[in-house]
Structure 1
């Protein structure tokens, strides 16, 4: 799941209908005219939850398979747009709920996974990928940055496989239906908001 969170943090803050393996994505517009994408007949869905003035929005997001297998590979693609430079300090506040019998249970922050606050995303990226070091694949191959600042513009990741090892997932978070929300801020100013629903299953 850490891979999922890293992916959402990186690409969740940056349409048309598209079909993939017989499943159809439908573009919808909420009351604030932010795009959202809902996948029919599956549990995966996403929506921008910021205001009309939010400078960073997710334009598209695809994650397969659905449900996601732990351990296993997932294929993900995303497109993000931002009208401002995303510079330090950037904070991401993530809340994660597990749905049980129609009731949402808030998951605590365990091993930096769950309902966590990432106070300085730019610093986290510098720790994972030291400045001056080449961005890892597939980011380097697609010309995507891996350090702040992220310049205003559009970023896109084509469908790419990621492997999720079971060892990275805290006990109790490897199966079930989840709802997550991530809010990106800089100096307490909200830059983006994203909601995602997804399911996990253990092999």
Structure 2
């Protein structure tokens, strides 16, 4: 009787191991790759076939000193310790500063002045999403207002007309979700790829 029970137990263990430990994970893995690339992080490649980012994560292009600022900038991606830092997409973090925080108000003023100087406009023309981060701090899109604010600089630094840049932005602008939720939004990475962005150090 004891040997029989052990044999049945071992058989059930082996069967469950095959079903739940091998077959089920294999099916889930296979289904996750049917007609989508999201299982691999929704990777985006540049014209050289190199991975340059993800459709789900905002990346603010950083310009080396002395180099032209040729690309569209994303929302604030700075860390909680340094609101003006470019931020690390692999380490999203909130500042935990509330709407009555003097520190947050100072950060917003600093960001607004920086962006106004960069784009050659008055501080009151800088949209709210340009100086505030999203809930995740990793949004891949910006508002149409912030994108349009950057058009003159993009046209100048890329040697294109304002109309050409506006057309690129329009091609990568998504409308409201379901036609009434949220607002129109511009995908920063897609615009920058059209402007010639490539992955650094990838041949």
Higher relative strand content: 1
Q: Which structure ranks higher in relative contact order (CA pairs < 8 Å, sequence separation ≥ 6)?
A: 1
TM-score (norm 1): 0.26
TM-score (norm 2): 0.26
